[in-house]
Amino acid sequence: MLRSFLLGVILLFSLSAQAQFIIKGKVTDAETGDPIAFANVLIQGTTIGMTTDFEGNYLIESKSLGDSLKVSYLGYLAQSKPLGKQEEQTVNFQLWPTSFELGTFVFEAGENPAFEIIRRASSKRKEFDKRSLEAYETRNYTKIELDVDNLSEDFRQRKSVKAVTAVLDSIRQLTNDEGEKILPVFFSETLSTFYFRNSPDLKKEIIEKTKVTGVGITDGSTTSQITGSVFQEYNFYKNWLRILEKDFVSPIADGWKTYYDYDLMDSVLVGQDSCYRLQVYPRREQDLAFTGTIWIKKEDYSLKQVDLTIPKAANLNFVERIKIQQELIATDAGPLLPAKTRVLVKIGQVTEKTAGLLAKFYTTSDVIRVNEPMPTSFFNQAVELKPDFNQYTADFWRSTRPDPLTEEELAVLQMVDTLKKIPIIRFYSEGLKFFATGYLPVRKVDLGPWTEFGNYNNVEGLRLGFGLRSNFKFSNKWLLEGYGAYGLVDQRWKYKAALTRILDRTRWTTLQLRTSRELDQVGLEMENLEGNSVFLAASRFGTLRRPFVSTNHRLTFQREFFKGFLLTTGFNLAEFDPLFNFYYLEKDTREFKNRFETTEFRAGIRYGRDEVIIINDNVRASLGSNRWPIVELNYAQGMDFLGGDIRYTKLNFYLYQRLTMGIFGVGRYELDAGKIWGEVPYPVLKNHLGNETFFYTTAAFNTMNFNEFASDQFISLRYRQSFEGFLLNSLPLIKKLKWRMVGSANVLMGSVRDENVANVPVFDPLGVPLRSFGRLDPSKPYVELGYGIENIFKFFRVDFFHRMTYMDQPEAKPFHVKVSAQIIL
């Protein structure tokens, strides 16, 4: 019996010695609830530990057990929790972000050992850049969540907010460890297939299924086009990554040593790959650069994974944090593609009494095939929705998601659905959308634009109006729109009515019939300023300069023949009826005439090689180009039939491009050239747009007076440079203000033929002097130079302009100061 007892004790100790302890759990961000990938988890007092995976999970198996578990990661406060004695336990952590401050770098003699690793990684950028593939195709799942956070007590006590606080307080999962609330307002899931083709550089995403729920979201077709993965692409093998319309330098870019410093932390095993783990730091904390960790494979110096943050100290407005985590996998051809990407953008409070915004993006990708390019015609539409994109079952999403929704995400969906039903929330969300878009959806029509509801000027006095248009719910083939307005002083009705037939939505093809009667100003015609709504609205308020009643009847046909190439053609009948003292001498009879009619045939082409276009309901909308310029060529032929009084020919060329210039910021140029053949009244000439207001605009020459110059042949180059934080980020006192330098240069050359000068009489038939226009010297350019500071108190900009030529003109001033307000990051 004693022997049996001793054997039992020995066996018990033996089993205890072989006991395997299992500790598992998840590490998340305490503010956002998002998983923290690549965090270090260590049993204190031992060397046993691991790093969390991309979902923030960890699992440690150990034969020994300490008294506590510690989690740490750069940019977060470290945290420890006690361990129990049980063989299997779950310990979750929520880490609080902390401000990251650069320390002092001290290196011994010789080169920093991290530099050689980065040098080799940078030299192999082309080898591993996915853009070097001939083509690739991926299957993507994308998840987006938007939350209102920083719910201050002042914000919560507002009458409009109290309606939701009771609901918010009832959902436990929508809090962090400190009990602070977030208010979800949007959640989407999208399943899509993404296609890329090289030479030429073409992209396309087909949205197969999308599930969108959000406060104020009424049209899934438009929203679904921007919730896919095409707008969530982050390629660290580019020199510059564009995020929120800002360009951030990659840690392995050409010239990396100019922007970054590095620490080689250690060598680690990531999956089956042995990697260098390097800490990266911006040399100047206010530069648009990243801080964080990158893992580079020892075998071939390719990126394995990144965990990078744009720190709060960077020269950005309102943005408290941008965090990007990414895992990369190699394709059979060699270049890397992202397998998982997570992005967090935290927008701070504009004022202490407002709330902040939290945006989360998550994308997983499976490679379908590489180097099997689709035909060029396939890429005609950048984003395409499948006909049944919004038809699905709950089982479909459960089987499609790479991972099930967390408790927090399920609570988010519950909260968004609840908010949508609260009347005060609907009122505010619709009101905000009305202000931003100009239109208020009411069933099958949109009321607006609100800019037409009222105005005041010296001709009309108080102007009252009302407009509406049909929307996608009415028809996806027909668009009806129009407005009417009445001036209480001039007692004239103004109106616009248009009927558009959408013939093809894939290769955008439309036919439009439009008629309008409106007040215009010579050189400030509404048609030329439709892309600058703020300046247009301001120019129609107060004193109108050389106003006239413009009546137009137009037939227009549009067709996109291939990606980026749009053809426009049509006829236009117009009447010019001046409200100021205007006369011209008729070409043949040399009689005085003060009004005229034109009949024009028009044709134009527009080409944007990489311009991103989406179909917003029944309207084609451009989101701009990434790399290549946008080119336009327009032709108009004036004819003397169907009521036309004048024969002439117009040709115009326009070129625009945005230039990424690295440390020097971003440049933009516009080249505009044109010629008019024929003898025409000066309102038909190119009346160069001046700006006599105190406000800065990119649409005008800011030192030129209204109606100062006109030309029948001209060429202009307008260049503006945003230096971001260049130079000012290095000045000890100025850099704290986050001011940014701007500069501009505008050059114009033009001329007018003698016959177009001769048709303008000096006096009217009653002998009253007539004002006409200034004439540019064809050998002497008009030049203005500008410089200034933007981001003053985050909103204001001041520009100083010098007029360099034509100082002998009446009322010419050599120096101008212009101000403007803008909301920029």
In a domain, 379, yes or no: yes
**Do 579 and 630 belong to one domain?**
yes
Query: Which CATH number fits the domain that encloses residue 532?
Result: 2.40.160.50
Spatial separation of the C-alpha atoms in residues 154 and 162, rounded to whole Å: 11
In a domain, 114, yes or no: no
**Do 405 and 313 belong to one domain?**
no
CB 31 within 8 A of CB 97: yes
Spatial separation of the C-alpha atoms in residues 206 and 227, rounded to whole Å: 12
Residue 249: name the closest of 297, 295, 281, 296 by CA.
281
By CB atoms closer than 10 A (0-12, 13-18, 19+), residue 168 is: buried
Domain endpoint, select from 367, 399, 430: 367
pLDDT of residue 584: 92
Place of tokens 């050189």: 523
Q: Tens digits of per-residue pLDDT, 233-270?
A: 889 999 988 887 788 999 999 989 989 999 998 888 88
**Do 624 and 661 belong to one domain?**
yes
CB 327 within 8 A of CB 302: no
**Do 45 and 156 belong to one domain?**
no
In a domain, 468, yes or no: no
Domain span at 719: 492-821
Query: Which CATH number fits the domain that encloses residue 85?
Result: 2.60.40.1120
pLDDT of residue 610: 82
Which residue would you say has higher pLDDT here, 731 or 638?
Answer: 638
In a domain, 448, yes or no: no
Q: Note the pTM of the prediction, 2 decimals.
A: 0.79
Radius of gyration of the chain (CA): 32
Spatial separation of the C-alpha atoms in residues 772 and 774, rounded to whole Å: 7
**Do 577 and 713 belong to one domain?**
yes
Is residue 482 scored above 50 in pLDDT?
yes
**Do 728 and 772 belong to one domain?**
yes
CB 624 within 8 A of CB 611: yes
**Do 794 and 676 belong to one domain?**
yes
**Do 302 and 404 belong to one domain?**
no
pLDDT band at 531 (very low <50, low <70, confident <90, very high): low
Residue 607: name the closest of 672, 663, 562, 550 by CA.
562
Give the ranges where 447-555 is alpha helix by DSSP (H). Answer: 533-539
Residue 96: name the closest of 116, 118, 119, 71 by CA.
71
**Do 197 and 272 belong to one domain?**
no
In a domain, 346, yes or no: yes
In a domain, 127, yes or no: no
**Do 268 and 217 belong to one domain?**
no
In a domain, 666, yes or no: yes
pLDDT of residue 747: 97
Burial letters for 90-129: b for 16+ Cβ neighbours within 10 Å, e otherwise? ebebbbebeebeeeeeeeeeeebebeebbeebbebbeebe
**Do 585 and 498 belong to one domain?**
yes
pLDDT band at 138 (very low <50, low <70, confident <90, very high): very high
CB 161 within 8 A of CB 13: no
Domain endpoint, select from 95, 125, 149: 95
Domain endpoint, select from 46, 77, 95: 95
Residue 54's SS3 state is: coil
Report the number of distinct structural domains present in the chain: 4
* Beta bridge partner(s), residue 604: 568, 634
What contacts 6, CB < 8 A, 6 or more positions away? none
Angle, alpha carbons 143-222-185 (nearest 5°): 50
**Segment holding 435, helix H or strand E:** helix 423-437
Tell me how far apart the terminal alpha carbons of the chain are, to the nearest angstrom: 82
Q: Tens digits of per-residue pLDDT, 709-768?
A: 999 999 999 999 999 888 887 787 787 888 899 999 999 999 999 999 989 998 988 889
**Do 512 and 640 belong to one domain?**
yes
CB 99 within 8 A of CB 309: no
Residue 324: name the closest of 333, 337, 311 by CA.
311
In a domain, 116, yes or no: no
